[in-house]
Amino acid sequence: MNTKPQADDARPGRAPAGGQRRMIDSHGRTIRDLRLSITDRCNFRCVYCMDPGVRFMPSEELLQPREMARLAGLCVGLGVEKVRITGGEPTLHPALEEIIRGVAATGVGDIAMTTNGWRIGGDECRAWKAAGLTRLTVSIDSLNEEKFSTLTRSSTGAADVVRSIDCARGAGFDRVKANAVVVRGLNEDEVPALAGLARTLGIEMRFIEYMPLDSGRAWEPGLLVPAAEIIERINAVTPLREVGRDEPSSTALVYEFADGAPGRIGVIAPVTAPFCGACARLRITADGKVRPCLFSLKEWDLRPLLRGGAGDREIEEFLIDVTWTKQAGHGISASGFEQPARSMSAIGG
């Protein structure tokens, strides 16, 4: 399957001129969170994301570390306060530490990374932290080795990923999170056990509703496990107390354990309880496309500007104009919903 998107208009329409140079959309939302994908490569083939036959983009089409750092710096100058490094699987990138250092040099104080956990040892974690990484999120969809293999189509084991989470904590990352995508018929019965990781490791375990972003386009409503059911399953074993969202734009609704045990539970419910109204995110793909929304059908190409000699001011204006086109919401539940051409692995989470 070719993940290259269809060609779009070269330039977005102009955003209204204003006194403050910020990325603000036509619905009044200000961008403060950049999701920067550094590669579309991944060594897993998770069933809710990427089929085994997916072909990766040619290397020459991907952004170079200096281009990523430049874009991150321009976004920080336009008001971005958080940068999350994503993939594909970002730890596959041979210049990962250089990329982290480049992003850190922008002065942004919050740099996170999402990884599948296959390559997390003490040395790697300490090196990433020294380069400027402040937060780490690890994906783990099952604690059962057979199910884990089925879900990820990989040779890495669930126990390996649990050890990786512990390594991250040992390296000094004090805000470690873990993500699990819950898919009906595959791992919904493991929700309480996965929630137990939060208690035993003192982390935030987040459960994500299955979204229509898989390359095989196998998503259907029947495979969705709603957030309310996820909480019910945990409550039946370990009662929870709702805390709320850390910030209005946060994706996760957070819970604590009612008995005061360490750790937290987060539930991300884009399908049954959309949080689009407070969205503060912008995405840049590994090949330099700007996506105002995770489910955008149109994306805007920065690479011609980056490699064509455009100045910082021109690229900033481009980013401001692209942000203005950000849609009000993803519309997953709408009758005319259309799944994006690219899957999560090519978009960046």
* 30: β partners: 24
Q: What are phi and psi of 76, to 5 degrees?
A: -60, -40
Does the predicted model carry a pTM greater than 0.75?
yes
Residue ranges of domains in the chain, CATH in brackets: 33-347 (3.20.20.70)
For 19, the token pair is 């006194």
C-alpha span between 304 and 153 (Å, rounded): 36
C-alpha span between 149 and 153 (Å, rounded): 5
**Order of all β-strands in the sheet with 82-86:** 240-244, 253-257, 264-268, 204-209, 177-182, 135-139, 110-115, 82-86, 33-37, 281-284, 289-291, 300-301
Give the model's pLDDT for residue 345. Answer: 82
C-alpha span between 349 and 96 (Å, rounded): 17
Are 319 and 24 a contacting pair, CB within 8 Å?
no
Exposure b/e, 310-339, CB count within 10 A at least 16 = b = eeeeebbbbbbbbbbbbbebbebeeeeeee
CA angle 258, 261, 262 (to 5 degrees): 125
Is residue 342 predicted with pLDDT exceeding 90?
A: no
Give the model's pLDDT for residue 174. Answer: 84
146: Cβ contacts below 8 Å, ≥ 6 apart: none
pLDDT tens-digit map of 22-45: 999 999 999 999 999 999 999 999
How high does pLDDT run on average in the chain? 92
pLDDT tens-digit map of 91-138: 999 999 999 999 999 999 999 999 999 988 889 999 999 999 999 999
**HEC string for 199-218:** HHHCCEEEEEECCCCCCCCC
